[in-house]
Amino acid sequence: MKIRLNYWQLILLFLPAIIASQMSNIPHSFWQAYGVIKTISNLLFAVNPCFIVGYQAYLVTSFNKTINGAKWVTVNALVPVVFLIAHFIYIVWSTDLKPVHLHNAIGPMEQADFGFVSKVITVFLVHAAVTFFLVNNIYVSRQIKNISDDGTKNQLNQDFMKPMKRLSNISYIALAGLLIIAAIADIMINGFVPKQD
């Protein structure tokens, strides 16, 4: 059984992020409403990469099994999925379950806490991005090019490479769209030049 999603089904993989970005724009008048909206929005943003990277990992591992490819590719494709699921659980814990301790701020900005856990998360996020956008696509493309039988090559291209290209293209568009929406929202809220108090 192969799961091949068309463009519309792939766009549905991004539905949690779309909902989260719209939730962030909901006007609120109470601090509690703000907290609930931001919590749900953060959780939706955190779970969305699990779906997207998980689907690509499914395609890569299925492809690798079909051609009897190297085991490291399967492991490399699954590492980001495991990390993103663990990251989602960490966000649930740190957002909802961890007790909040308010600290007295020394100045107008809080001190950044970029400790060991933050560094590990950053390394795994970079690994997930590089694997998603580069390694998996290059690997599948090169392996298909190395196959001499045209029928097998076309079938593998149809089953694996085309869905991966679609997913990458939609991911590029979604990232660009989120950046543009964030920039427009920031300009609408703050103007071109931040107000000086």
Does 137 have pLDDT greater than 60?
yes
What are the CA-CA distances from residue 6 to residues 34, 61, 133 (Å)? Answer: 36, 19, 19
| Mean pLDDT for the stretch of residues 12-24 | 85
pLDDT digits (tens, 9 = 90+) for 46-67: 999 999 999 999 999 999 999 9
Q: How many domains does the chain have?
A: 1
pLDDT value of residue 28: 67
Q: Which residue has the tokens 């795994």?
A: 124
* Tokens describing residue 49: 């990469």
pTM: 0.81
pLDDT value of residue 167: 92
1 vs 152, more confident: 152
On whether residue 194 sits in a domain, the answer given is: no
On whether residue 173 sits in a domain, the answer given is: yes
Three-class DSSP category at 122: helix
pLDDT digits (tens, 9 = 90+) for 66-114: 999 889 999 999 999 999 999 899 888 887 666 555 555 555 555 666 7
Q: Which residue has the tokens 């298909």?
A: 144
In the 8-state DSSP scheme, what is residue 195? P
On whether residue 13 sits in a domain, the answer given is: no
On whether residue 36 sits in a domain, the answer given is: no
